[in-house]
Structure 1
Amino acid sequence: MNKFLIFTLLLCFLTDPILSIVQLSSISSSFPDTPARFTKGLNGSVICGDLWVAEPLDACSPLLDEVEDGGDESANIVLIMRGNCAFEEKIRNAQEAGFRAAIVYDDQLDHNLISMMGNPEGLWIYAVFVSNTAGETMRENARGVGGECCIISLVDETAWTVLVISFISVLAVICLLVSICFTVNQWRNCQETRTTAVDDKVVDMLPRITFGAVNLIDPIGETCIICLEDYKHGESLKVLPCRHVVFTGFHSSCVNSWLTKGATFCPVCKHDVRARMASSVK
């Protein structure tokens, strides 16, 4: 259960849901993306505008083409390739050039979408990350003026964050309840084990013999079946009320531990000691 909890929490924090999509009007295609964690969020709204290709493509230096800020109704969006510098530097250069949004695409094939990290201070534009395939497709079809591109928010990101936190909280409560139930069940099992053990008084009633005594009527082995150690002359042994071909005794300490810690039967013949003792008392 602990491993499952850790894995679920890591999955929630490290895996980013698809909160928005990029839609390119010129080819009527949509691409999944993940919003940057350090820029402005759309929170359920849409931003549309002309799609430009950054020059230089990696946007690691000031962009050569500056655009006019047309407001929310006519925003300009820039396409940037990942690599060579930090995400924050790319987005700041895009903002300085007058763009209202930036789309950063992966420079490697078959990579998972990630959430870009950076310092949010002074940033007010929106930024998303898309795959290499999506980025190259948009790059081929970007037209600048007249090439409309939209970034569409599928859900309110704030509401999604609250949902994730709520899910984790509920999961933690469930795991806590399961742990409590498991602990209680273990305690009950221990209690049942203790109640099925032979009572100390019954164990004290078992007959004792001394190993090596000359007055023993029945023959006895030389090794304790429980600890597998040979008896020593004059050692005190206890005898269970069982009938064997060869009479068997046990070290007193061994049989005491055997019967009072859960076992109720003879380690040799498996007969219940309590039943034997009850019948012998009658």
Structure 2
Amino acid sequence: MKMNRVVVLLLLLWFLCFSSVFWMTSASVVLIGNNVTLSFDDIEANFATAIKGSGECGVLYLANPLDACSDLSIKVDELSNGSSPFALVIRGGCSFEEKVRRVQKAGFEAAIVYDNDDDGVLVAMAGNAAGIKIHAVFVSKASGEILKKFAGSTDMELWLIPSFENSAWSIMAISFISLLAMSAVLATCFFVRRHRIRRELPQSSRVREFHGMSRRLVKAMPSLIFTAVLEDNCTSITCAICLEDYTVGEKLRILPCRHSKLLTTQRMT
């Protein structure tokens, strides 16, 4: 019972660790500052620069125009803050690629595009990756409306954390190592329990080792003098044990066989 509790506890700890890693990698946009921490799900654009490592940190600004379907009036070099500038853009009016290219042209290092529809479904922004050097992510309309309230606040940090898709190999590696560790623990528990059960068995139920027949039993077996091959007592010309031929006059001992009509002979020593 104690062993089962240990196994269950280890499985629970493994599940909690894996769940925490998954949660950290699935929250891709995180807003931090002024005792406020908010996280938002997103999907990275398949044509923009992938977010790697521990993520990218910057300050969020509203694009002007908000849909970024024409050149942005706000320029990065006009911003007094030295942090990496991110632009918040609304969906619609033009393609995702056009929006991201205009955000990049204005000097921003990332484009956060939020949906103009309230369905809450995140889409993967598609486009031509040629010349795109900044990050781009897509968030829901509800997330965008919240982010708009904090846009321009230089005391608020916006983090873009690698999404689950980009961290899949890390998750797989962690899962594989955890699985190996759990397998080793379970195997150890199994063999320890098996050994303990065998030790607790009564002596009479254990398998006894065979050390051969005693000299007294061997001498009690019938014997004969070899003269020739005899069919009636199944005496052959060769010993079945040492595989040597008998010679006339040698004394042989008759051994019991599995079959009732067959006897085996052994050379006497």
User: Which is greater in Rg?
Assistant: 2
Report the TM-score when normalising by structure 1.
0.47
Report the TM-score when normalising by structure 2.
0.49
